[in-house]
Chain A
Amino acid sequence: MPKDAGIGASSKRREDIRFLTGTGNYTDDINIRGQAYVHFLRSDVAHGKLTSVDTSAAQGMPGVLRVFTGDDFADVGGLPCGWQVTDRHGQPMQEPAHPVLARGKVRHVGDPIAAVVAETREQARDAAEAIEVEIEDLPAVVDMKAALADGATKVHDDLTSNLCYDWGFVEENREAVDEAIKSAAHVTTLELVNNRLVANPMEPRVAVGDFNRATGDSTLYTTSQNPHVIRLLMGAFVLGIPEHKLRVVAPDVGGGFGSKIYHYAEEAFCTFAAKALNRPVKWTSTRSEAFMSDAHGRDHVTKIELALDADNNFTALRTETYANMGAYLSTFAPSIPTWLHGTLMAGNYKTPLIYVNVKAVFTNTVPVDAYRGAGRPEATFQLERVIDKAARELGVDPIELRRQNFVTEFPYATPVAVEYDTGDYNATMDKLLEMVDLSGFEARLAESKKNGKLRGLGVNCYIEACGIAPSNLVGQLGARAGLYESATVRVNATGGITVMTGSHSHGQGHETSFAQVIADMIGIDESMVEVEHGDTANTPMGMGTYGSRSLAVGGSAMVRATEKIISKARKIAAHLLEASEADIELKDGQFSVAGTDKSVAWGDVTLAAYVPHNYPLEDLEPGLEETAFYDPANFTYPAGAYACEVEVDPETGKVTIDRFAAADDFGNVVNPMIVEGQVHGGLAQGIGQALLENCAYDEDGQLLSASYMDYAMPRADDVPFYQVDHSCQTPCTHNPLGVKGCGEAGAIGSPPAVVNAVVDALQRDGRDITHIDMPLTPSRVWTAMSQG
């Protein structure tokens, strides 16, 4: 039976009321008295020497307060990178400077050259047009392999080449993997592209800087998934403001999907300019600016080889990937193609030998960083595509080939450094097959044929590492930050609770689901718990929300803090009841003495804590407020099996998703309604990657897809109703809620299902087509069909 409250209940979201009535408080809704506006003049060429930036005409335009250029930031730090990768030879990656405003050179279309601050947005925009910029064009570095060729133009003149790092993992396995592939009964090889995407949260980025001259305090309102991280990075590395003089507020944030993790130049600019001008300074990104300044995602070019023995057991896996970093290193960019990608190459399978090589490359394109899934979709796509191809080459059922190689015993230590705590991959596959009505496929195929359409079925599995992350482990891997999470639980005198979490909600519904957890632990109504997040002034230092970590890490911190609250409240109750603490039981918000009818209510205990007239003051402090920091012992490993059924129109190449089913194991689930919504959204993004979305540059580094006229976002008529299930639950063994995280699964698991389905449809039609690169647009499918 579904529960109607607490953990496991589909409680309706309380945050919906403000969003549905237009009373949310997004960053662009914040306007501070006296605020000025900034417009950034951005490079319209991919690569060039900045020979002159003449701002004199602009400076005299109506309403202009000041025009800033790179020289104004000469004494300010550049944007820092938060992760240092060590290459195959033990050397640190090449790490270029990343100035707030370009100096000397521009390195991608959209690189900010100058910033005009004026009384109105329009005046700032008008004045920016009067800035005279002279750029001496340099050859644009766009293609990754060409970027690494001898004599290639360098994106950064002070680096030795365009190679950021050449990473090998696990380097000690390299020769054994080569040997196993050489001696294998069968090797399947696949070369593929994981297309560059743009996260595209519907709310464009916004920053409002404010400065109080009387106190010397700076405040930044920004569209961020992790305000404390921005405070630390911007304060310590860019502007030199200590945390106690810098407040960062990320209020209602309209989606992130990774792109709002990073510290961006515009945030530092608005904070800096507010102080320089003693005026609040606001920047609101346009959508086309977002396309050329938000960090992009994916953009891998990969060759993968899977070796099998004569019985079709996987014996070795070898990959070589070129990963695009763009022109500068975004905050967490180096970690994505390495630790969030290489460590997932075992997938759901017991392949004993794995070697992953990644060459990260600088190009004259927008920086690339995490986008929903971040490394794990890239790992899943290549692995699940090569397994599908192997099954077809060997003439075996792709589902059975997967099952035969599943990891079935847990914990399982992979050859790529991670240990899966729990899972049951056969259970999710069984559930999936139950959902998709496999027995009806032939009839549906016949019906499609009758209508002149092709039909195909694609199935795949996925695993991801979430609950990011054990700090000591990621520290060894190059992270320059800890990845714990925090919570303060403040119980008020009359029993209501305010929770301050370091996690951040930008669509995930934490205000509802986090309250469910605490209410359930104490046995009080959910309405008695309020969740606050997003303001460094009133929340403990937290690392924010990404990597499907909020409930697994932030929720665990909240549980730990609540346990401390309950422990103290139990002592107070024992005093009030004149009983031994060991005999006190908490149930439904009542503390009672075991085996008696003596009890005190939650509210009596909380009141006693703040009105300590009858209170054990010699043993306990008054008050009831606790903070906990939780650092996870391991990652969590959500996994599942996905199936997609497509129709292909052979006349046009258009692919239509007929049905999509997802069977996920997220461990325990707090709010099933929210979890299903997270999966739906991930599926649409994965289907978008597979069929529609592509961030395209031409050979001169011009961004061809810089608006919704050119970048194909999934729309309502591109996707079906999805079948989703999360009833297979193997709870995480190392966090107190047994949860694994659900935010990225849909985007990780769905692209290979779609491509496998299209290849299946084409092969059933007798065509010798083994792969088409995403997105599978009508043009690409039609072209492949006309050649295959």
Chain B
Amino acid sequence: MPQVSMTVNGKPASGEIEGRTLLVEFLRDNLGLTGTHVGCDTSQCGACVVHVDGQAVKACAMFAAEAEGAEVLTIEGVAAEDGTLDPVQQAFQDHHGLQCGFCTPGMVMSAKALLAENPTPTEAEIRDYLEGNICRCTGYHNIVKAIMAASGQDVSGIAAE
């Protein structure tokens, strides 16, 4: 079986794979990084979003072999070593941007990618960017709000609370 090597969350990672092994399968099954989830078969739901060389990627739409030599960041690598949450993670907790938590890793990874390219997105820009991330629990209200808050915007006027 072919071998693949990459850097995952700052650490070297390698393993034997089949040609058809998806990146998300390599992360979950070979490396035991089960924070990246699989919610559909058609690259629609975004529960599997990770960063590959700094770009948000759906890990179900990429073969593990394609990530040879790449720098991969998964949800497990987002918080600081001491467990301190990253600002996006913290905003999701502060603003109740998650319920069952299944879509959350992908949402956080997408939100981080958005803020990297657009540091203060509008509500409409956030909603548009999240088109490829489905959440069934939150109705998106608190996710959008959390991302606005993580970008430093005042969200106190958003709807009744």
Contact = CB atoms under 8 A, between A and B. Distances in A.
A507 B139 contact: no
A26 B161 CA distance: 31
Interface residues of A, number: 62
Interface in A273-319: 284, 286-288
Interface range on chain B: under 10, 10 to 19, 20 to 34, or 35 or more? 35 or more
A264 B15 CA distance: 35
A21 B35 contact: yes
A20 B100 contact: no
Interface string A725-749: 1000000000000000000001000
A28 B34 contact: yes
A28 B27 CA distance: 13
B63 interface: no
B13 to A, nearest CB: 15
A746 B123 CA distance: 22
A202 interface: yes
A713 B136 contact: yes
Contacts of B68: none
Given A17-B93, A286-B41, A676-B161, A252 B141 contact: no
Interface stretch (A479-487, A579-587, A715-723): A715-723
B6 interface: no
A19 B40 CA distance: 19
Chain A CB within 10 Å, residue with most, of B40, B104, B105, B135: B40
B89 to A, nearest CB: 4
Given A29-B34, A200-B136, A507 B104 contact: no
Interface in B36-86: 36-42, 44-45, 47, 74-76, 78-79, 83, 85
A12 B101 CA distance: 14
B136 A685 contact: yes
A255 B137 contact: yes
A715 B130 contact: yes
A684 B139 contact: yes
Interface string B101-141: 11111001000000000000001101110110111111111
A120 to B, nearest CB: 9
Contacts, number: 194
A29 B105 CA distance: 14
Contact of A677 (B78, B102, B123, B142): B142
Nearest to A672: B161
A554 interface: no
B80 to A, nearest CB: 11
A474 B126 CA distance: 46
B39 A203 contact: yes
Nearest to B44: A708
B35 A16 contact: no
A226 to B, nearest CB: 16
Contacts of A15: 101
Contacts of A204: 38-39
A86 interface: no
Contact of B100 (A12, A22, A201): A201
A236 interface: no
A13 B97 CA distance: 10
B139 A680 contact: yes
A435 B160 contact: yes
A200 B100 CA distance: 13
Contacts of B35: 21-24
Interface of B: 18, 20, 28, 33-42, 44-45, 47, 74-76, 78-79, 83, 85, 89, 92-94, 96, 98-105, 108, 123-124, 126-128, 130-131, 133-145, 158-161
Given A20-B104, A22-B35, 18 more contacts: A19-B100, A20-B89, A26-B102, A29-B28, A202-B135, A203-B39, A203-B102, A255-B100, A508-B99, A678-B99, A680-B138, A707-B40, A708-B40, A713-B134, A716-B126, A716-B135, A717-B127, A725-B160
Interface of A: 12-13, 15-24, 26, 28-29, 122, 200-204, 252-255, 257, 284, 286-288, 435, 506-509, 672-674, 676-678, 680-685, 707-709, 713-717, 719, 721-725, 746
